[in-house]
């Protein structure tokens, strides 16, 4: 069983997806602790309901970013964390932390990286007129929204989408993608070489493509 530490800042919906996945028979990971950087994070309630040790470590209590991260690190080491999962954790991490947890620190971002990094992602997608978007699970590096990509899920962008509607569609994909990526890592199927991941266990999907809008031949 791979021990997970989950860092959150808000609603914790991806934490909830990981909790649900870990509760399934045969899932190869468990959540050892949850840490929030503010006490109002709703995800703390999910941890409490699942009897997972949860902690509040306010970043404002520390004189520097690294001092805050050292407190995170100490708590996770105490709980034997092997993989850190960022789940809506709204703090940029220093090179000290990302190197200390190199290839043991993952994030989920609501776009198909490297497209649309940063914030306000869904509005950027709509403003650009993209026809597909999705989410990306990746290993974390010091540069924001960079790092070897583990798994991506694609969803269509529809003509009548609003930012809220599109965000909800992507979030549904996130809740499936994050546990799937964690399973791949826990089963030893993900290898990193030259800043690329190579997946040792996957179905052969060569030649399969998603078209949005559908090709004429695919339409009813």
| β-strands 132-139, 105-109 pairing | antiparallel
| β-strands 29-36, 190-193 pairing | unpaired
C-alpha distances in angstroms, 164 versus 114, 152, 167, 171? 22, 21, 5, 10
Nearest to residue 13, comparing CAs of 35, 54, 41? 41
What lies within 8 Å, CB to CB, of 19 at 6+ separation is 31, 46, 47, 50, 52
Q: Strands of the chain (E only): list them.
A: 2-8, 29-36, 54-56, 83-86, 105-109, 132-139, 149-156, 190-193, 196-199
Task: Clarify whether 79 is annotated catalytic.
Answer: no
User: In 3-state terms, what secondary structure has residue 103?
Assistant: coil
CA–centroid distance for 87 within its chain = 5
User: In 3-state terms, what secondary structure has residue 202?
Assistant: coil
Catalytic residue among 109, 122, 146, 175: 109
CA–centroid distance for 39 within its chain = 21
Enumerate the active-site residues: 109
């Amino acid at each position: 069983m791979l021990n997970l530490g989950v860092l959150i800042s808000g609603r914790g919906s991806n934490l909830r997806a990981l909790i649900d996945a870990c509760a399934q028979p045969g899932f190869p990971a468990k959540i050892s602790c949850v840490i929030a950087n503010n006490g109002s994070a709703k995800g703390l309630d999910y941890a409490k309901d699942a009897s997972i040790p949860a902690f509040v470590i306010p970043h404002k209590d520390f004189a520097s970013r690294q001092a805050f991260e050292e407190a995170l690190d100490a708590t996770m080491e105490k709980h034997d964390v092997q993989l850190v999962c960022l789940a809506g954790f709204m703090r940029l991490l220093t090179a000290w932390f990302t190197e200390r947890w190199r290839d043991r620190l993952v994030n989920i971002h609501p776009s198909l990286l490297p497209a649309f990094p940063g914030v306000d992602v869904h509005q950027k997608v709509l403003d650009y007129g993209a026809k597909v978007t999705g989410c990306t699970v990746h290993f974390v590096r010091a540069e924001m929204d960079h790092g070897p990509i583990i798994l991506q899920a694609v969803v269509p962008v529809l003509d009548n989408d609003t930012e809220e509607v599109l965000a909800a569609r992507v979030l549904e994909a996130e809740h499936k993608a994050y546990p799937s990526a964690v399973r791949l890592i826990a089963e030893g199927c993900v290898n990193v070489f030259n800043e690329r991941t190579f997946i040792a266990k996957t179905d052969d999907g060569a030649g399969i493509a998603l078209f949005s809008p559908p090709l004429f031949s695919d339409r009813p």
